[in-house]
Amino acid sequence: MAKLKILEFPDARLRTKATPVEVVDDALRAFIGELFETMYDAPGIGLAATQVDVHKRLLVADVSVDKDEPHVLINPEILEKDGVTVTDEGCLSVPGYYEEVERAEHIKVHFLDRDGAEVELDAHGLLAVCIQHEMDHLDGKLFVDYLSEAKRQRIRKKLEKERRQQGAVVA
């Protein structure tokens, strides 16, 4: 398995709206393995396919302390949401920044698992927040979109400057 390169804000490819996964096969499962490896290595608690420039509706998450509760959500759809929770969120695509974001505390979400079986999951707290954050990625949305325009521009400028200093090409 190989570690994948994570796109970083303000890369325009992060704004792509992902399309549904049509077949759950061994090739997809191999990609899921790479997503987990990339997420655990980063380290992060969730990763959407969009973040590695694959625009399919697929995300992985593991919010457990021991990193032994992996979740794979293929073509996720939120059926119900309620409650409110505010979390200091970060994102592997916006490295080094953490800001408070308000989201539903509980979601009921429908998806296909890695075998293509239909699953309905009730998620609360951090797992619910993580899934909502990753599902935003599949729609081309980032947590910085919930912040003020001024704050988002500040983060964008700082990240672009850091990348220039590293000699990277800023797209």
Q: Which residues contact 129 (CB under 8 A, 6 or more apart)?
A: 85, 87, 89, 101, 103
Give dist(CA 94, CA 155) in Å, integer. 8
Judged by the rule CB under 5 A, the positions of this chain that interact with Zn ion are 91
Is residue 149 part of the annotated active site? The answer reads no
Our CB check for Zn ion shows the closer of 32 and 94 to be 94
Our CB check for Zn ion shows the closer of 24 and 51 to be 51
Give the nearest distance from C-beta 117 to Zn ion in angstroms.
26
Our CB check for Zn ion shows the closer of 39 and 91 to be 91
Residue 89 and residue 133 in contact, taking contact as beta carbons nearer than 8 Å: yes
Q: Which of 134, 149, 160, 162 is catalytic?
A: 134
Question: Which residue is nearest to Zn ion, using beta carbons?
Answer: 91
Side-chain half-sphere of 135: how many Cα atoms within 13 Å?
17
Give the nearest distance from C-beta 150 to Zn ion in angstroms.
21
SS (H, E, C) 35-83: HHHHHHHCCCCEEEHHHHCCCECEEEECCCCCCCCCEEEEEEEEEEEEC
Give the nearest distance from C-beta 170 to Zn ion in angstroms.
19
Q: Which residues are catalytic?
A: 134
